[in-house]
Structure formats: C-alpha cells, structure tokens
A and B are shown apart, each in its own frame.
Chain A
Amino acid sequence: DQQVKQNSPSLSVQEGRISILNCDYTNSMFDYFLWYKKYPAEGPTFLISISSIKDKNEDGRFTVFLNKSAKHLSLHIVPSQPGDSAVYFCAASDNFNKFYFGSGTKLNVKP
C-alpha cells in the first residue's frame, strides 16, 4: 500500500520558470516531510524538509508547502535551472525513523 504518492512521473519546465512538484500522502500520523533530489548513479541528496507544525519552509530557490488537511506536499523551485534536472522524491516519516518514499518525479529543465 503506497502511503506516499507522486502522481506525475515527469515534468518539463523552461529555464527561469517555476517548477512545482507534488506529493500526496494518506497517513495522518506522518509529521515530518522531506524532498530529495537524485542524479543517475548517485544516492538521493537531501534538499529540504518541513515538520507538521509548519505549512511552509524556504531554503534559497526551494520552498516546500504542506497542506495537512489535504494531505498534500509540494516543492517549488524558482527560478529553475538546467542543473535542477534530476529525479525528485518526496518522503514522509511517522517519527519512528521509518521513512516512506514516493515513486519520484523526473524533472527536466530546458535551457
């Protein structure tokens, strides 16, 4: 049973524009949410996180939004750069240090 879902397997965006990656979850016990970026032949790299007590967290060009009532998480990248092209995974944890990952969204930022 997939508790974290990324329904868009791919996304294509023009350089300089906003990239919005979405993620839905089903378990209301999740209280910590994260985004990872993964390049081929490398492990996922931690990007940004948010706890359930907040609804927004920013770090440079990356902003994560959390809508607990909708059980929805999104990552905004502004402005998008070609180097952002990678697979992005969202993840959630229920505070037992067990993380549930989505299936990933492949972002392509066109120059």
Chain B
Amino acid sequence: KAGVTQTPRYLIKTRGQQVTLSCSPISGHRSVSWYQQTPGQGLQFLFEYFSETQRNKGNFPGRFSGRQFSNSRSEMNVSTLELGDSALYLCASSLVVGNSPLHFGNGTRLTVT
C-alpha cells in the first residue's frame, strides 16, 4: 500500500507570494490533516478534512486555508507569505475508525525569503 504522498518536497518563495501544497492520502483513508513544524517546535495543527469538509481548525491566521477533493486528496494554500511561514508542512491521513493513528507524508519544506 502506498503511503501518504506530498508534493513538492521543497519550495522557495518570496514574501507576499502565495503557495499551494498537495497531499495524496493512503488509499481508503478519508481524513487528511495538516501540521506545521518549525525548528524547536512540535507539530502545530493547522486543519483536518473529512469527506471534503473541514472538521477541525487550529490557531492559524486566515492566510492558511485548505480543501479536500472527492477522492480524498487535499491541498493547502498559504497566501501573502511571511518569513515566519518557513517551515516543514506535514500532511497526515487516518482511517478515523475508533482510535486510529495518523500516518504522515515526508512533508514539504517551504522556505520564504
């Protein structure tokens, strides 16, 4: 079974630009979550989608948005990039049947200059 796939692996953008990150979950997983990891920080929850609906949202500004498609693939968008948005963005999928662990992709490393 293929794991969670994130594209691209690396991105370099300048301040003020916008960026879209993509995530394909494990086949059969309908929940997709996004997390931000910065140096010295744990993983900060961005949002979670299930059946194309955002079910949970973390404490991030409205510049961070996402969506999920009918095939469970998800995209995350960050508009008006700031230097502080430089981070590793991780996508995770889960079965959401009882207690199910998150399964992570390898992330997209975003650098804002």
From B55, which residue of chain A is reached at the shortest CB distance? Answer: A97
Smallest CB gap from B58: residue in A: A98
Query: Nearest 7 CB-CB pairs, A to B?
Result: A43-B104, A101-B43, A101-B42, A103-B42, A32-B99, A46-B101, A98-B56
CB distance from B32 to the nearest CB of A (A): 10
With a cutoff of 8 Å between Cβ atoms, the chain B residues found around residue A95 in the complex are 99
The residues of A with any CB-CB pair to B shorter than 8 Å are 2, 4, 6, 31-32, 34, 36, 41-46, 49, 51, 89, 91, 93, 95-104
Number of A-B contacts (CB under 8 A): 66
Considering the chains assembled together, what is the distance between the CA atoms of A95 and B55 in angstroms?
12
Give the shortest distance, in Å, between B65 (CB) and chain A (any CB): 17
Output the least CB separation between A87 and chain B (Å): 10
